[in-house]
Amino acid sequence: MIYILKILLVMILSPVAGCLLKGLDRKITARLQHREGPPILQPFYDFLKLISKENIAVSKYQNIFVLIYFMFAAASLLMMFFQMDLLMIICVFTISNVALITAGMSTGSPYSKVGSEREIISMLCYEPVLVFFIVEMYMLTGSFRISSIDHLDKPLIFYMPLAFLSMLYIMLIKFKKSPFDLSSSHHAHQELVKGIMTEFSGPALAVIELTHWYEAIFLLGLMFIFAKQYTLLGLAIAAFTYIFAIIIDNISARLTWQWMLKFTWTVVIELTIVNLLGIYFLNLKAL
């Protein structure tokens, strides 16, 4: 019974929090650009408007992928709240990413196809860093389950500073913010029209927006894990990540995928590997 209550709470509160976070994002961006900005509830108004639009598509079956994208993103968020095996959660999260990429390609639009290609490259960049982070967590706690972190005395960030920096970097890629908003740009930063989302509209786009809210909470949850035992510190780290992403979004221009690929694979992944080898050779076991 408590399970069902917990599931409902997570399912309902997370998109609300995600919506407010997106609204805050637009407000802070606007203030940084010395203008008023939309009300904080604006993403919610957008969502309602999209639901009331006519349901159109270019391919009869493209919305099936949107459904898969939504279900598995919500599911991986739920699994994270239930503190299951983190590697499994990432595998499930990959299903939703693959669904989004395939959704883009299935429309046959050349813009979505280029957007999907770039999203594949983004996946090539962030996936290794994410899995390295999880393996380092295992090396410190002896288990891949999130619940095992509670046994540690010091927060994870203490042992994994380099991994934290790498994760900050790939959060920029995952949130699709400049300098890495290559595959589908938000809010009128256009390249490739709308990238993956070009041919999605109406209720399908509303579901995609909803999934973005779930995803935002999921990604911040990943950062929260860095200081899971101390809730306030964890929330501070998550908040810091989000503000960091917003600020970098506003001060940098979009970079090319070649730059992103080169930089990630030569610098960021190396940082994470150094952290991993450091933990291994120094025989750090936080238990």
Partner 1 sequence: MGANISLLIAVPIIFSLLFLIKTDKKYYKVLSILLCSVSAVLSIALAISGEQHLTISGNLFDLSESLIFIFEATIVIYLFYSSIKNRKWFALFLTVIMALLSIYTSFFTPKAENAILNIDKLSIVMVLIINIVGTLIVMFSIEYMPHYEQHNNIKSRQKFYYFMICIFLSAMNGLVLSDSLLWIYFFWEVTTVCSFVLISYNNNGAAINSGFRALVINLAGGICFLTGILLFKNTMHIVTLSQIIDARAAGPLFMLPVALLCIAGFTKSAQLPFQSWLLGAMVAPTPVSALLHSSTMVKAGVYLIVKLSPAYAKTPLGEAIAIYGGLTFLICSAIAITQRNAKRVLAYSTISNLGLIISSAGIGSSIAVSAAIMLIIFHSVSKALLFLCTGQIEQVIGSRDIEDMSGLIRRAPVITILAAFGMLSMILPPFGVLITKWVSIEASASNPFVTIFLILGSAFTSAFWIKWLGTILSYPVNDLRPKLPVNFTTYFPLGILGLIILGTSLMITPIFNKFVSPEVIELLKSRNQLSGSFGKVYSYLGSFNVTVIFLIIIAMFIIYLFIKKLILSPDIKKVYLCGENNTKNNADLKFREGGGALQDPVVSNLYFNNILSEKGLTIAGFAASLAIIAFMVTGGII
Partner 2 sequence: MANILSNVMSKSPWIVHVNCNSCNGCDIELLACLTPIYDAERLGVLNVGTPKQADIMVVTGSVNHKNINMLKNIYEQMPSPKAVVAIGACASTGGVFHNCYNVIGGVDEVVPVDVYVPGCCPRPEAILDGIMQAADILEKKRLDNKG
Binding region for partner 2 (CB under 8 A): 26, 30, 33-39, 41-42, 44-46, 48-49, 52-56, 187-188, 190, 193-194, 197-202, 205
Whether 100 contacts 176, CB under 8 Å = no
**Is 134 or 238 the residue whose CB approaches partner 1 more closely?**
134
Q: How far is the CB of 174 from partner 1 (least distance, A)?
A: 15
Q: How far is the CB of 277 from partner 1 (least distance, A)?
A: 6
Spatial distance between the Cα atoms of 105 and 196, rounded to a whole number of angstroms: 8
Residues 6+ apart with CB under 8 A from 39: 23, 45
**Is 51 or 64 the residue whose CB approaches partner 2 more closely?**
51
Q: Of 133, 165, 138, give the one whose Cα is nearest residue 268.
A: 165
For 122, the enclosing helix (H) or strand (E) is helix 110-141
Footprint on residues 115-144 left by partner 1 (CB under 8 A): 116-117, 120-121, 123-124, 127-128, 131-132, 135, 138-139, 142-144
Q: Is 11 one of the binding residues for partner 1 (CB under 8 A)?
A: no
Applying CB under 8 A, what is the total number of residues that bind partner 1? 70
Distances (CA, A) of 149 to 52, 141, 281: 44, 6, 21
- 248 phi, psi to nearest 5 deg: -60, -35
* DSSP conformation letters of 227-281: GTTSHHHHHHHHHHHHHHHHHHHHH-PPPPHHHHHHHIIIIIHHHHHHHHHHHHH
Return the residue of 7, 16, 55, 230 that touches partner 1, per CB under 8 A. Answer: 55
Q: Is 111 one of the binding residues for partner 1 (CB under 8 A)?
A: yes
Residues lying near partner 1 in the complex (CB under 8 A): 54-64, 67-68, 71-72, 75, 79, 84-88, 91-92, 94-95, 98, 101-102, 104-111, 113-114, 116-117, 120-121, 123-124, 127-128, 131-132, 135, 138-139, 142-145, 193, 198-199, 202-204, 258, 261-262, 269, 273, 276-277, 280
